[in-house]
Structure 1
Amino acid sequence: MAELLLLLWPIVALIALGVWLKRSTWLDSGFWPAAERLNYFILFPALLVHSLANAPLAQAAPWQLLGVLLSVLLPAAALLWAWRWRYQVAAAQFGPQVQGLLRFNTYIGLALAGGLFGASGLAVAALLLALLVPMVNVLSVLALLSDRRWQARAVLWPLLRNPLIVACLLGLALNISGLGLPLGSEALLKFLAAASLPLGLLCVGAALQWQGLRGAWRGLLGNSLLRLLLMPALALTVANLWGLPAQSAAIVLLFFALPTAPTAYVLTTQLQGDARLMAGLITLQTLLAIVSLGLWLAWIGSRVAPAVS
């Protein structure tokens, strides 16, 4: 337990440092949008390509992993849509609720997966992202556009331009083709990848918006508890039913226990959703996850014997 807390507290500390840096005058206000763009378009894709290109995909049980993810996401999405139609929830509020329940903070997830299981954990996590990122983005866009006439371009074009999806596809292609990362590109990507997670965690702290916590407490708290407690329990149950290897099952549990993604705020704003609700969900889930992730990490440590680095 003590070792797992030692793994979690530096992540929390980086997020807290991001909060302080954003509120102080030490950095110019233009730093954070530039840092987020740098990480989103260059550093984080480099980490995904580097992790996937040489990942032992067979050991990660990709088809089982895909089955688990579909078995969790599709019923959850169906229940969300049934709730939406039953209570006539507008798309502006429905979109944030869907993203709050289904999206996840990749920076925290990769930092924990790598800390728990090293390079093999990062490989499984990268494969999970390659499968999960397109799914949750499609569901998020559909939810935000659910009051409008559906158009294929409105859903597909943002996905085709998504640098994380492109990086996942490129990494998988390099892996499957056997090319790997030739001509010194592995060293370059490793340097870029090393900067991604600390910068990403600082940006998570900077992106927290405290004003979003005012009002609508029932919706914020209900969505957050479902995300941080029910979804990981469901994911763990499904992973065990599918017979997923212990390490892969632990990483699936971990990613479904993460708070929602800060980038959900950007998508919500672009598609005219309730940005205040989305900001509240991001902030509250990130704060509550400090406790809930500690509990889930303790559970993982009691059953999977993680190799904490």
Structure 2
Amino acid sequence: MTILIYSLWPLFALILGGLALRRWNFPGEAFWPAAERLNYFILFPALLFSSLATAPLDNPALPRLALAVLLALGGAWLGLLLVRRLRGWPAARFGAFSQGILRFNTYLGLAVVGSLHGQTGLVLAALLLALMVPAVNVLSVWSLTAEQGVSVRSLLWPIVKNPLILACLAGILVNLAGIGLPGGSDRLLGLLAAASLPLGLLCVGAALRPQELAGEKTALLCNCGLRLLGMPLLALAVARLLQLPALESTVLVLFFALPTAPTAYVLTRQLGGDSQLMAGLITLQTLLSGLSLFVVLALLR
């Protein structure tokens, strides 16, 4: 229990620090978008690439982990489609609600895994991201554009240009080719990766919008309950069904217990979704996850 507290509180201190710095306008409004772009296009891809370039891809648990992701995401998606049919939600609302259930805060997830399980956990988490990020991106775009008709290009283009997915693919290709990270490149990538997670957590805090929590309290609370408690329970059931090893089960459940991604707000605005609801979901889930993650991890341990 003490280990969990020591592992989690610094991460949420950084998130709250980012929120405070943004409210105090330090170091300036222009800093945060630039920091997010630096992290998204350079620092975070460096972390994923270096982790996957040296990962043990012959791990016998990987096929079962891929199946677990497919079953858990597929089950959640079918449930969302059923709710949409029963409630008659338009795509704008359904897109925000489904992203609140399906998407996850990658920065926080890797920070928690790294804090608890070190490099071994980070490698496994990077493999999990290579499976989940493309699937979640496709489902997110589809949910926001279902009423407009969905083309193959509109679904695949966000994946093709996603630097996180490209970094995962590049790392896997380098691994399979047996090239490794020679000539000190592992040190360079390690330095870039070390800057990624703290900067990412500060940016998560800076993106929070507490003013959006005033409306739609029922929808916000229902979505938070499903994401922070319902989804990890679903992932745990799948992990038990497939008899995943302990570490793989922990990482799977953790990523299904994370709050939704701050980038969901940008996608929702771009595709005409309910951005106010999305901002409220991101903020409330992130704030509540300080407690829910502690509970989920404590139960797992």
Whether these two folds match at TM > 0.5 is yes
Within a 5 Å distance, the mapping from 1:220-235 to structure 2 comes to 220-235=220-235
Matches within 5 A, 1:10-25: 10-25=10-25
- Give the corresponding residue for 1:74: 74
**Equivalent residue letter for 2:142:** L
Q: Match of 1:198?
A: 198
Q: Quick check: 1:141 aligned with 2:124?
A: no
The CA distance in 2 between the partners of 1:250 and 1:260, in whole Å, is 18
Q: Equivalent residue for 2:172?
A: 172
List 4+ stretches of structure 1 deviating above 3 A.
Answer: none
Structure 1 match to 2:272: 272
- The Cα shift of 1:78 comes to 1.2
Q: When the two structures are superposed, what TM-score results if normalisation uses the length of structure 2?
A: 0.98
1:57 deviation in Å? 2.3
Deviation at 1:25, TM superposition (A): 2.9
| Equivalent pair of 1:60/1:124 in contact (CA under 8 Å) | no
Deviation at 1:214, TM superposition (A): 1.6
- TM superposition shift of 1:60: 6.5
Q: Does 1:238 align with 2:238?
A: yes
CA distance in 2, matches of 1:26, 1:228: 31
- Offset of residue 26 of structure 1: 2.7
* Residue matched to 2:263: 263
- Write the distance in 1 (CA, Å) between the matches of 2:174 and 2:11: 31
Mapped to 1, the partners of 2:270 and 2:181 lie a distance apart of 35
The offset of 1:179, in angstroms, is 1.4
Deviations along 1:89-109, one digit per CA (max 9) or x if unpaired, are 011111111110011001111
Query: 2 CA distance for matches of 1:60 and 1:266?
Result: 37
Q: Contact (CA 8 Å) 1:60, 1:248: kept in 2 or not?
A: no
Aligned to 1:27, the other structure's residue is in SS state coil
| 1:151 match | 151
Residue type at the aligned position of 1:151: S
Code of the residue aligned with 1:231 in structure 2: it is M
Are 1:33 and 2:23 counterparts?
Answer: no
For residues 116-158 of structure 1, what are the alpha-carbon distances to aligned partners after superposition, in whole Å with 9 as ceiling and x for unaligned? Answer: 1111100100000000000101000000011111111111111
The one-letter code matched in structure 2 to 1:135 is: A
CA deviation profile, 1:226-255 (whole Å, cap 9, x unmatched): 000011011011011111111010010111
Q: Deviations over 1:200-248 (max 9, x none)?
A: 0000000001122121111111011000001101101101111111101
> For residue 304 of structure 1, what is the aligned residue in structure 2?
none
Q: Distance in 1 between matches of 2:250 and 2:3?
A: 17
1:181-220 correspondence to structure 2 within 5 Å: 181-220=181-220
User: How many residues matched?
Assistant: 301
Deviation at 1:58, TM superposition (A): 2.6
Listed one character per residue, the Cα deviations across residues 149-208 of structure 1 (whole Å, up to 9, x for unaligned) are 111111111110011110111111111221122332211111110000000000000000
Identity of aligned residues (%): 57
Gaps of 5+ in 1: 302-309
Q: Is contact 1:35-1:203 (8 Å) kept? A: yes
2:282 maps to amino acid: I
Which amino acid is 1:111 matched to? Answer: A
Residues 60, 193 of structure 1: alpha-carbon distance in 2 compared, 3 angstrom cutoff: farther
Q: Distance in 1 between matches of 2:189 and 2:68?
A: 30
For residues 245 and 60 of structure 1, the distance between their equivalents in structure 2, rounded to whole angstroms, comes to 10
- The TM-score with structure 1 as length reference comes to 0.95
Following the alignment from structure 1 to structure 2, what is the Cα–Cα distance between the partners of residues 6 and 16? 16
Secondary structure of the corresponding residue to residue 148 of structure 2: coil
2-side partners of 1:167 and 1:199: how far apart?
19
- In 2, the alpha carbon distance for the partners of 1:199 and 1:76 equals 31
